Chains A and B, each alone.
Chain A
């Protein structure tokens, strides 16, 4: 596989469920990102990891819990979500998380919370 992959591509969950989104990058990058894209809203940066360390958390509710075990893998653990959390969740990676560092995106996970 090449580039940035995300699984699952689609996820439907109830508000009491616990699920995880997975992202893997095959580009040898050191920075990884989670974004949320809701219908008719701008792209929202959620978390940034640089060399496995979280360097940015944009006031994301605690029901979203990221995990970065190594520079190639990024997870987003979900629990007790709300219907308004339904969105396209995008993972991206870049060389080293510096500004003007080109970010490459995965295909996204379309999440629906019932």
Chain B
């Protein structure tokens, strides 16, 4: 599976959009980009995933560049409850194991 690179930490003001970047320059054609988050000592929470096209759901938007080498997770109106570690994962067609890297610690500030 392709390796991902994320910033270690980010801050965001409450009510503003949080934009979390992820680089996955070695991604291959059949690999999806997944985003999960984990609040301290809780189970990981699925956020969104995509292959080529931008995706949006009730939690977030996922913007994938045309060359698919990077993506951005957007939380449109961050709240204090969005403070968590956010993981960007690339999964191949046969992979079942989720491998979390170090992720980005997002802190939403009041």
Mark A residues whose CB is within 8 Å of B. 4, 6, 33, 35, 42-43, 45, 48, 56, 58, 88, 90, 92, 97-108, 110
Query: Which chain A residues lie closer than 8 Å to B100 at the CB level?
Result: 42-43
Per the bound structure, the CA–CA distance linking A57 and B46 in Å amounts to 24
Per the bound structure, the CA–CA distance linking A45 and B98 in Å amounts to 8
B interface secondary structure, majority: loop
In contact, A99 and B44 (Cβ under 8 angstroms)? no
In contact, A108 and B43 (Cβ under 8 angstroms)? yes
**Given A99-B93, A100-B91, 16 extra CB contacts under 8 A:** A4-B43, A58-B97, A90-B43, A90-B44, A98-B96, A99-B91, A100-B49, A100-B93, A101-B96, A102-B34, A102-B49, A105-B44, A105-B46, A106-B43, A108-B42, A110-B41
Interface size on B, residues (CB 8 A): 20
Mark B residues whose CB is within 8 Å of A. 32, 34, 41-46, 49, 91-101
Q: How far is the CB of B32 from chain A (nearest CB, A)?
A: 5
Q: How far is the CB of B40 from chain A (nearest CB, A)?
A: 10
Q: How far is the CB of A33 from chain B (nearest CB, A)?
A: 8
From A43, A45, A99, A107, contact of B42 by CB (8 A): A107
Per the bound structure, the CA–CA distance linking A104 and B49 in Å amounts to 13
In contact, A102 and B46 (Cβ under 8 angstroms)? yes
Per the bound structure, the CA–CA distance linking A6 and B46 in Å amounts to 17
**Could you jot down 27 A-B contacts, CB within 8 Å?**
A33-B96, A35-B98, A42-B100, A43-B44, A43-B100, A58-B97, A88-B41, A90-B43, A90-B44, A97-B96, A98-B96, A99-B91, A99-B94, A99-B96, A100-B91, A100-B92, A100-B95, A102-B49, A103-B46, A103-B98, A104-B46, A105-B43, A106-B43, A107-B43, A108-B41, A108-B42, A110-B41
Per the bound structure, the CA–CA distance linking A99 and B92 in Å amounts to 7
Closest to B45 in A: A105
